[in-house]
């Protein structure tokens, strides 16, 4: 969830300076700064499950995952954001003079929340597509066994896949790794399962 701060226009450098000292993470949207609110236990669990799995599966390969504490900068749209999980193939490319702001993920995973799901599916996906290396976008529903995936083809078109149900296997195409839904949702308790 994003919470808008006082209406003021900031430069990217002012935003970066603020991020070095603030207790909370903020997103930058072309001059505006929005606070990133905390997530649910399911949100956190799913991020951890995916990151841990990818870290192990990609060991020794030319790709590595990063969690949501590393900022992504999108130059074309002047956006600074914190994807839930990113994978970088090869060496990370950083904004000049920084080690906390990456430019070249090839895969991004977002765990959807009620307040951000529409933005994640539409505008954020459009912003991410401006990154030349970006080839795969994975959206994970935290309320049911449901994963949506967009894969960039050789002809620069985006192919949509959907995985549903606890027995499904998700194929992360850009890193050639498969992960079961049961691993993605390990220790996740859906709200409707908690109701008597």
Domains in the chain: ranges and CATH: 40-194 (3.90.1570.10)
Q: What is the pLDDT of residues 37-47, one digit of tens each?
A: 778 899 999 99
Mapped onto helix, strand or coil, the DSSP state of residue 157 is coil
- What is the spatial distance between Cα 46 and Cα 131, in angstroms, rounded to a whole number? 25
Strands 26-29 and 79-81, sheet pairing: antiparallel
Query: Using the 8-state DSSP alphabet, how is residue 120 labeled?
Result: H
User: What integer pLDDT is reported at residue 48 of this predicted model?
Assistant: 97
List, for residues 89-124, the tens digit of each pLDDT value.
999 999 999 999 999 999 999 999 876 666 667 789
- With beta carbons less than 8 A apart as the criterion, state whether 104 and 161 touch: no
Distance (Å, whole) CA 182 – CA 169 = 9
Helix (H, G, I), strand (E, B) or coil at 150: strand
pLDDT tens track for 135-184: 999 999 999 999 999 999 999 999 999 999 999 999 999 999 999 999 99
Q: Supply angle C-alpha 13, 19, 25, rounded to 5.
A: 135
User: The whole model's pTM is what?
Assistant: 0.90
- State yes or no: pLDDT of 83 exceeds 70: yes
Look at strands 146-152 and 32-36 and give their pairing. unpaired
Number of Cβ within a 10 Å radius of residue 5? 13
Q: Which band of pLDDT confidence, cut at 50, 70 and 90, is reported for residue 191?
A: confident
Helix (H, G, I), strand (E, B) or coil at 192: helix
**CA atoms in the 13 A half-sphere facing the CB of 133:** 19
Band (16; pLDDT cuts 50, 70, 90): very high
DSSP state at residue 22: -
């Amino acid at each position: 969830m994003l919470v808008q701060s006082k209406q003021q226009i900031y430069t990217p450098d002012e935003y970066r300076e603020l991020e070095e000292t603030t207790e909370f993470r903020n997103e930058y949207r072309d001059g505006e700064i929005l606070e990133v609110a905390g997530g649910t236990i399911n949100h956190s669990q799913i991020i951890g499950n995916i990151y841990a799995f990818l870290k192990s599966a990609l060991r020794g390969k030319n790709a590595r995952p990063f969690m949501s504490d590393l900022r992504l900068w999108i130059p074309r749209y002047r956006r600074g954001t914190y994807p839930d999980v990113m994978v970088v193939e090869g060496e990370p490319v950083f904004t000049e003079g920084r080690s906390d702001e990456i430019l070249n993920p090839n895969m991004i995973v977002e765990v959807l929340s009620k307040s951000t799901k529409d933005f994640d599916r539409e505008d954020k996906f459009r912003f991410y597509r401006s990154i030349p290396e970006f080839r795969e976008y994975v959206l994970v529903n935290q309320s049911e066994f449901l994963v949506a995936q967009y894969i960039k083809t050789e002809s620069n078109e985006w192919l949509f896949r959907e995985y549903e149900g606890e027995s499904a296997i998700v194929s992360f195409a850009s890193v050639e790794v498969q992960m079961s839904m049961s691993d993605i949702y390990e220790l996740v308790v859906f709200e409707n399962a908690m109701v008597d």
